[in-house]
A and B are shown apart, each in its own frame.
Chain A
Amino acid sequence: MLGDRQQLSYIAAQAADARLNLELETEGMTLNIGPQHPATHGTLRIIARLDGEQVVWAEPACGYMHRGYEKLAEVRTFPQVTTLVNRIDWLGSFANEVPFILAAEKLMGVEAPTRAQYIRTILFELSRIANVSLFLGDLGVQLGAITPVFLAFRDREYVLNLIESATGGRFHPNFDRIGGLKDDLPAGWIDETRAVMKKLRGFCDQIEDLLFGNEIFQSRTRGIGVIPRDVALQYGLSGANLRASGVDWDLRRDQSLPMMWNKADWKVWTHPDGDSFARCWIRLQETRESTKIVDQLLGSIPAGPVMAKVPKIIKVPEGEAWVSTENPLGEMGYYVVSRGDLGPFRVKIRSASFNNISITPWLLRGVYVPDIVTILASLYFILGDIDR
C-alpha cells in the first residue's frame, strides 16, 4: 500500500495525464532528471511529466544519499557528533557544527568564553561566504555561462585557505568543542582575513557585472519561479529563499544566542518579488554583508581563553534542547534529547534544504524545461543537506 503522500502524487500524475490526453490528444513524456544529472549537483532525482517542453507535473525523489546521521548520532559521544554533522551541508561545514554544540552547551549550562564566541561567529560567516560564493558561480553554469564558476572557485579558495589555516580542515573543520574551540587563531590570520574580505567584495562586484547585469540572465530569472509570501511561509522555506519573498526573517538577528552577530552593524536584505532573480540577488547581498560582519568582528576580538572549564569526559545532563541558527542554506536546527549519558539519546536534525525543495512540486508546475534548472539553481540546495 502506498503512503498517503505517494498516493496523492500518483493521483495528481494520473490526472495530469488524463488532462493532457483530453486536451491535445497527445501522450505526455516522463523525463527523469537525475539521480545522475549535471543540473542537480548531487543525487537528486526529479520526475517530470512533460507536454512538449512544458512541465505538467513534477516531483522530487530524494533519499539517494541518505546516510542516517540522526541514528548514527545516537551511538556516538557528544564530541564525536560534530564529525558527522560536518558532512550535512558540506560546503559550509563549520556552520553545521555550531547549532549542535550550542544545544549541548545549553543542556550543560556552560557558555564559551567571549573570544571563542567571536571566532565562532567569524568562522561561521566565512563558511557562509565559501558556500554562497560557490552558488554565485554555479548559477552561471546552470544558465549556460561557464566563466563565473572559475572566478568563484578562485576566490572561494582564499576563504578555504583561511578556514584551513585556522582549523586544519578545508572542508570539514571539526573545530568546535563543547565549551569553546579546539585552538586559538594562528598568528597573522586577522590581517590575512581582512585582505581576503576585500578580495571577496571585489568578486561580488565582478559577479554582479558579469552575471546579474546581463540582459539574458535577467530575462532567464526575472518572473521565473515566483513564490508569493504566504506560500513561502506555508512550505516552511527559510533563509534567502524566504527573504526573497519579502519576509523579513533572519535568525542571526531575531534570536539571542551566545554568538556575536549583534556586535556588528549589518543589514538583513529582503526582496519583494520572490522570483529566481530575487533569490540570487539576496544571496549576493548576503555575501557582502557577511564580509562586513567579519571585518567588524575582526577589529574587536577580545583577548582571553578560547575554552571554558569543562570536564575531560563530557556527560550531558538529562534534558531536551532545541537550537537553530541561520545557516548558509537557511534555518538549521538540532533537537537534542539527553538522558545523562555520554552520547545523545535522540537527535532530530532540521536541515534547510529538505524544506526548501519541498516547494518544487508546487513551483515547477507549468514551467519550461530550461526553467527547471533555473528554479532549482536559485532555490539552492546541497544534496547532503536534503538527505542527511
Chain B
Amino acid sequence: MSPLLAEIPYWGESLFRVLGGLVAVLLPAGTIVYVFLFKMMSFMQSRLGPMEAGPYGSMQLFAEVGKWLQKEDIVPERADARIFKMAPIIVLLSTFLLVVVVPFGPDALFTDLETGIFYALAVSSISVLGILIAGWSSANKYSLLGGLRAAGQLIAYELPMVLAVIGVVIQAGTMNLQKIVVAQNSGSMFGIDAVGHPYLISQFVGFVIFMIAIQAELTQAPFDMPIAESELVSGYMTEYSGFRFLIFFIGEFATAGVFAMIASVLFLGGWGVPFSWFGWTSIDEVDNWMNFAGPLIMFTKMMLIVFIIMWIRFSYPRLREDQLQRFAWKGLIPVALANIMVTSILKVVF
C-alpha cells in the first residue's frame, strides 16, 4: 500500500480509488470533447462553435448530456435486446479497466502491475467485443457492416501497436509502467541528463507507429471506416439513442484520453520531470508534491497527444477498408518488426 493512503481505512481507500478512476476517465473525456471537438474543430472550420451555454459555451457539454439522458432509449424490434443493451457498457468498461494501470505520480496510482503494459494492451481489446456485438445485435445491415469493419480494423491495428510497444519494453527492460516512467526520467542521453531520456527520441519510429495505431484503434479519421457516416449512416452506432449512445460517445473520447496517457507514459516520460532537475536519483527520493504535480503534467502531455490525433482527424479524408488493411499488414507491421530488431541489436551493443 502506498504511503499516501496509509492512514485511510479500507472502505475509504476503495472509495478514493473509485472516485479517482471516475475522475481519471471522465475529466479528460469532457475536456477533450470541449477543447477539441467543440472549439478546435470550429476554429479550424472558420466558425465559433457553441457560444450560448455558459461563457464561450463551456457548459455545452452538460447541456448535451442532459439532452441525451432525456431521450428515449430505443431498442429495435428485431434486435437481440439483452446484448444490444450490454454493448456500450462493455466498450466503456474497457476504458475503465485500461486506466487502472496508468501511473499519475510516484504514489498516485491505482495498481502497480509488474506486467502493466501487457495488461493494458490486453484489456483494450475488450472494446472490440462490445463494438462487434453492437453491430451484430442491432439487426441493421449498416450496423453489421460497421461492426465487421471495426473488428477487422481493430485486430489489424492491435498488432503494430503491440510491436511498437515492444521496442519500449526492450529499452526499459520492464513491462511495469511506473518503472518505464522512472527509466525515462532518471536516464540520460550520451551522458547528458538535462531532459532525462524520453523514448520519443530513441524510439521515434515506435512512437509514430504507436500514434497511427491508436488513431486506428480509436476509429478516428482517416481510419473511421466503422462509423463512416457518409456510407454506413453511423456504423455500429446507427441504432443507438439516448444514454446508450452517450456511453458510446463518452467511451470514444475517454479511450482517446487514456490511450494518450499511455502514449505519454511510454514515450514522453509520463507524470515525471527529469529527476536531475531536483537532484533525485531514484523513485524513492521523489518529493511528495509530485503526487499533485504529476497528474497535471500527465494531463498536459495527454492534451498534446490528443491534439495531434484530433488535428489529423479533422483534416484527413477516410481510407477504404482494403487500403486500411494493406497499410497495417504491408506497411506498419514490417516497419515495427524492423524497429524491434534494431532496438534489440542496439540494446546488446551498448
Contacts and interface: CB of A to CB of B under 8 A. Distances in A.
Contact of B323 (A37, A142, A144, A219): A219
Nearest to B234: A38
A259 interface: no
B321 A53 contact: yes
B14 interface: no
B320 A145 contact: no
Interface in B285-321: 314-321
A216 B231 contact: no
Contacts of A371: 320
Q: Which of B142, B225, B231, B232 has most A Cβ within 10 Å?
A: B231
A146 B317 CA distance: 8
B194 interface: no
Contacts of A130: none
Contacts of B175: none
Nearest to B142: A31
Contact of A370 (B141, B225, B233, B316): B225
Contact of A145 (B41, B145, B221, B232): B221
B146 to A, nearest CB: 11
Q: Which of A210, A219, A369 has most B Cβ within 10 Å?
A: A369
Interface in A192-245: 210-211, 214, 216-217, 219-220
A370 B317 CA distance: 12
Interface stretch (A117-125, A147-155, A250-258): A147-155
B317 A217 contact: yes
B32 to A, nearest CB: 17
B144 to A, nearest CB: 8
Interface stretch (B20-28, B42-50, B198-206): B42-50
A18 B230 CA distance: 30
Contact of A147 (B44, B141, B318, B323): B44
A53 B145 contact: yes
A316 interface: no
B45 A147 contact: yes
Given A141-B230, A144-B222, A144-B230, A369 B145 contact: yes
A47 interface: no
A37 B229 CA distance: 9
Interface string B43-71: 01111000000000000000000000000
B314 A370 contact: no
B230 A31 contact: no
Nearest to A154: B46
B153 to A, nearest CB: 13
A219 to B, nearest CB: 6
Contacts of B224: 144
A143 B317 contact: yes
Interface of B: 41, 44-47, 141-142, 145, 221-222, 224-225, 228-233, 314-323
| 10 A-B pairs with least C-beta separation | A144-B318, A150-B45, A143-B317, A145-B317, A370-B320, A142-B230, A39-B230, A144-B317, A373-B231, A217-B317
Given A29-B141, A38-B230, A216-B319, 15 more contacts: A31-B142, A143-B230, A143-B317, A143-B318, A144-B221, A144-B317, A150-B45, A214-B316, A216-B317, A219-B319, A369-B145, A370-B225, A370-B228, A370-B231, A370-B318
